[in-house]
């Protein structure tokens, strides 16, 4: 187990470095730069600014310097958006906002999604199943910004019962959480339904019934745990994405989170912020995937992590 985790962490390190390199070159391939604004700077000033941040050096040298700094956990300073503030400080300031909103949405998505799936599987083929199927299909296919906009128009503008921006009160969480969690909730519901149906037809479910267990125990003890395995696979990347902020939802509701900041940094060509947020997000995804892989072992004792490591 320990050997497996160490191996995965080493792998994760290289994955993050690779992502950093790719992002670095992509970013530099995009036309424009941090110091090109409407008011043209004189060539001398531009050269001085570039020299200050090391942008005058060849790309490979820049990359080497960046990676060396990265090993010291130094993500550089912002060029433009919050001039000369360390990127790490900025991320640490923005992340808790996204993380809190994301965590609530995630819990909500799981708490509703799994029972939706169980219900649909239990009442397979009846009107309950049909209603839930239509609902989850719509939920999965409508993009977050549409949900966010519709909610905003109905509850924020027409009825004016919920605040339309910021995250200052309990009420202000409702709409962003709904917008952020609808799609994952429906997806979790569909996954749970299909894997539950698969499990219900397994022979050990028949054994459980033959013992005289009640339907409730059969479904919630014997079937649910087995059907959570595919759901768990999806939860890894979902957790990473949702915690680092749905940038669309954050933009629509003007929430000062990491997602919105990331999008702004791209249009501003604030290189260190782009690199910093990308690396942060990538590390988070890799980390969550590892957590999920370890959780497999908890849910399903047949998983042999040590064997996989060899």
Partner 1 sequence: MDNTKLLDIDDLKVSFFTPAGEVKAVNGISYTLNKGQVIGIVGESGSGKSVEAYSIIGLLQSPGKVTGGKITFNGEDLLSYSEEQMEQFRGNKVSMIFQNPMTCLNPVYTVGNQLTEAYRCHRKEVKKEDAIKQAVKMLELVGINNPERRIKQYPHELSGGMRQRVMIAMALICSPQLLIADEPTTALDVTIQAQIIELIKQIQEKTGMAVIFITHNLGVVADICDKVIVMYAGKIVESASVEDIFYNPKHPYTLGLLRSMPKVNALDYERLIPIEGTPVDMLNLPSGCAFGPRCEKCMKICLRQAPPKVVISEDHEAYCWLLAKEAYEEEKNND
Q: Applying CB under 8 A, which residues contact partner 1?
A: 202-204, 206-215, 217, 222, 225-226, 299-302
As measured in angstroms, the least distance from the Cβ of 22 to partner 1 is 39
Residues 6+ apart with CB under 8 A from 92: none
Q: Which of residues 72 and 302 has its CB atom nearest to partner 1 in the complex?
A: 302
As measured in angstroms, the least distance from the Cβ of 305 to partner 1 is 15
Q: Between the CA of residue 263 and those of 40, 62, 206, 267, 277, what are the distances in Å?
A: 24, 23, 52, 7, 10
As measured in angstroms, the least distance from the Cβ of 116 to partner 1 is 22
Q: Which of residues 64 and 211 has its CB atom nearest to partner 1 in the complex?
A: 211
162 contacts 172 by C-beta, under 8 angstroms: yes
Q: Which of residues 105 and 227 has its CB atom nearest to partner 1 in the complex?
A: 227
Q: Which of residues 84 and 215 has its CB atom nearest to partner 1 in the complex?
A: 215
As measured in angstroms, the least distance from the Cβ of 205 to partner 1 is 8
As measured in angstroms, the least distance from the Cβ of 306 to partner 1 is 15
Cα atoms in the Cβ-side hemisphere of radius 13 Å centred on 26? 10
Q: Which of residues 72 and 216 has its CB atom nearest to partner 1 in the complex?
A: 216
Pair of tokens at residue 92: 């640490």
Q: Which of residues 15 and 299 has its CB atom nearest to partner 1 in the complex?
A: 299
As measured in angstroms, the least distance from the Cβ of 214 to partner 1 is 6
As measured in angstroms, the least distance from the Cβ of 131 to partner 1 is 21
Q: Which of residues 64 and 225 has its CB atom nearest to partner 1 in the complex?
A: 225
């Amino acid at each position: 187990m320990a050997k497996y985790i160490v191996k995965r962490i080493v792998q994760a390190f290289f994955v993050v470095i690779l992502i950093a390199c790719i992002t670095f070159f992509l970013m530099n391939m995009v036309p424009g730069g941090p110091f090109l604004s409407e008011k043209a700077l004189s060539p001398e000033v531009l050269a001085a600014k570039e020299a200050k941040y090391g942008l005058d050096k060849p790309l490979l040298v820049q990359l080497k310097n960046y990676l060396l700094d990265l090993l010291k956990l130094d993500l550089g300073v912002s060029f433009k958006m919050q001039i000369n503030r360390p990127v790490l400080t900025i991320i640490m300031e923005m992340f808790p906002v996204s993380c809190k909103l994301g965590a609530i949405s995630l819990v909500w998505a799981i708490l509703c999604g799994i029972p939706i799936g169980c219900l649909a599987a239990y009442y397979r083929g009846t009107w309950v199943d049909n209603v839930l199927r239509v609902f989850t299909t719509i939920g999965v296919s409508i993009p977050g910004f549409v949900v966010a906009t519709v909610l905003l128009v109905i509850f924020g503008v027409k009825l004016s019962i919920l605040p339309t921006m910021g995250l200052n009160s309990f009420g202000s969480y409702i709409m962003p959480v709904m917008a952020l969690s609808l799609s994952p909730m429906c997806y979790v519901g569909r996954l749970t339904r299909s894997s539950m149906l698969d499990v219900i037809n397994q022979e050990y479910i028949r054994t459980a019934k033959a013992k005289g267990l009640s339907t409730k125990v059969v479904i919630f003890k014997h079937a649910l745990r087995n059907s959570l395995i595919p759901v768990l696979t999806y939860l890894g990347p979902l957790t990473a994405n949702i915690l680092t902020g749905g940038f669309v939802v954050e933009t629509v509701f003007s929430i000062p989170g990491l997602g919105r900041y990331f999008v702004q940094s791209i249009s501003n060509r604030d290189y260190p912020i782009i690199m910093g947020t990308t690396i942060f997000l990538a590390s988070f995804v890799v980390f969550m995937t590892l957590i999920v892989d370890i959780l497999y072992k908890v849910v399903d004792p047949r998983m042999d992590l040590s064997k996989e490591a060899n």
